[in-house]
Every structure is written in C-alpha cells, then in structure tokens.
Amino acid sequence: MRELTYLEAVREAMSQEMRANEDVFILGEDIGVYGGAFGVTRGMIEEFGPERIRNTPISEAAISGTAIGAALTGMRPILELQFSDFITIAMDNMVNQAAKLRYMYGGEGKVPMVLRTPAGSGTGAAAQHSQSLEAWMTHVPGLKVVQPSTAYDAKGLLKAAIDDDNPVVFYEHKLCYRTKSDVPEEVYSIPLGKADIKREGSDLTIVATALMVHKSLEAAVELAKEGISVEVVDPRTLVPLDEETIIKSVKKTGRLIVAHEAVKRGGFGGEIASIIAESEAFDYLDAPIKRLGGKAVPIPYNPELEKAAIPQVNDIIEAVKETLKGV
C-alpha cells in the first residue's frame, strides 16, 4: 500500500468526494491558485475550477454564513479556515445558526457542512495562530467534532464528515500535516464516533488526541524498554465520543491518563475523566486519573517557551511512572 502524508490524504478525500458529488465544493481564503495557508488545496483549482474552489474575502463570518446558507439549499460545502483560532470570528454562525437550524426547523432543514481548520502549536505562529479550542465546540449541541491524528484516519473521517447531514468541525493539527501512513487509494469511510486503539497495553491507558497520540506512542515505546505496557486510545472524534472503547480499556488496565494539547483547565480531558468516574470503570481504578494538558498561558512565540507550554514526551513518561506508583 502506498504512503501519503496527512495533508495529501485530506486533499485526496476532498477530491474524491468532489468527483463523486457535484454538490460538494470548497470555499475559503486563498484556497485557489495559492492552495491555502498550508497547501492542502494546492492543484485542486486546476481540476475543479473556480466555481467549486471558491476564493473568499477575508471574513470568517461571511465564509461560514455562506457555507450555512449553501448547505440549507442542498449543497455540501467544505469551509476552510486558515487557522482554527479564527473560528472565534465565525462563532455566532457556528454556534447560533449551524448547530441549531436542523432542530429549530423540526428536521425539515439540514446543514451538511464541514468546517476544516488547522490547529495546535509547534510552528512558531504565536498566540493568535496556535491555539487548541476544540473543547469549546464540543460544548455546543448540534456540532460534531473530529480530530484525526493519522493520514489514514484523516481521509476516512473526512469522507464521513462530508457525508454527514450535520455540521462537522474538522480539526487538523499542523504538525500532523507532514506525517505519513499507509492510505488506500480507493474511497473508504471511518464512522464518526469510533475510537481506535493505536497501541495495545496492559498497565495503563492513555487517551490522547491529535498530536498527543504521536507523543504518547513515542512515550509508550520508551516505557516498554522498562517493562511498562501502555495502551494508547485515540478517540478520533470527540463528538460523538466512543465511550465504550475508553471504558473497556480502563477496566482492563486500571489506570488512566488523558493527554491533549489544549489548555488543561476546562479542556476535554476533564470530560473523559468524568465519564470514567461515572462509569463501572471507576471501580477498576488502581490510581487517581491524571490529566495532561497545555498550561494556562497564551502560546509563546519563542520556540523553547512554546514547547514548555504543552505536554512533551518526557512529561507523559513521568506522568505514567507517577500513576503506576499511585502518586
């Protein structure tokens, strides 16, 4: 099987869906000849033309409003925001319109749109271009939230998101764009709400999202050299969330760490910890649940400070050892 980068997998998923369905189109800033802020749509305008790869003015409110209106008329727009931080400008449209219209119309209207956007730190893009705000979106009924960590998952999940009749926010971590994995050339779909066990283990479960999946896997390799067996669970979608797989893993290992890049305070890790505390898995815990998240600071521009603001591999290794000691 051939390898693709995460970026190429996202592009391939969109291209295949656009070839199969003329109602699918993309809109966003500089997505035409320039190919988008990270080059995800590069080359697509040559195949699909400016009517379906639509450059927009610099207005996230206008872009999201246009996408919602198009979706209501039966189109299936894919909206690209250059940085996930800019979702704050589209917040009213996403929270008060896209998320609620199907409910308010009694199911008569649908909003089948995907908001794709790069998130996370690690590129030196500083405080206004490096945040992880996915927990905000998970709080809003009516929105689905996806966070793929691999190229294979990105392609399959994006097809599922485009096919979905509800608004989906699709977070792509910037540092995942250049990572590679085996990706089938044919069209395939990964159901939203199905987690993936990225590594089997028996001593402790790490539930990790996006880039933290890769860091957790790296930590697991190092810990295995010391005889510590770590299971890494990637939810892949936060809404809907595959609670069953997470609960089953914690019942098996008896210990849980949640790792995400977003600020720990108010982050999605608290939701996962609460799910375990309210489930039968709580009786299987041999140590307190530990959360690893970003520090409550704006992401710094300085590369060393930027690294210090979010969990690194050594932080995960240390947290695992502390949890195994029952600290």
Quote the tokens at residue 261.
């890049």
Give dist(CA 242, CA 194) in Å, integer. Answer: 5
- Give the DSSP H or E segment for 65: helix 60-72
Nearest-CA neighbor of 261 among 213, 221, 302, 322? 213
- At position 246, the amino acid (one-letter code) is I
- Give the DSSP H or E segment for 78: strand 76-80
Quote the tokens at residue 283.
């009786």
In the residue annotation, 129 being an active-site residue is answered as yes
- Catalytic-labelled residue, pool 129, 173, 214, 260: 129
Give dist(CA 314, CA 318) in Å, integer. Answer: 6
Tally of CB atoms within 10 A around 282: 14
Give dist(CA 12, CA 35) in Å, integer. Answer: 14
- Give the DSSP H or E segment for 90: none
In sign, the C-alpha dihedral spanning 45, 172, 139, 160 is positive
In sign, the C-alpha dihedral spanning 93, 139, 160, 118 is positive
> So which residues are the catalytic ones?
129
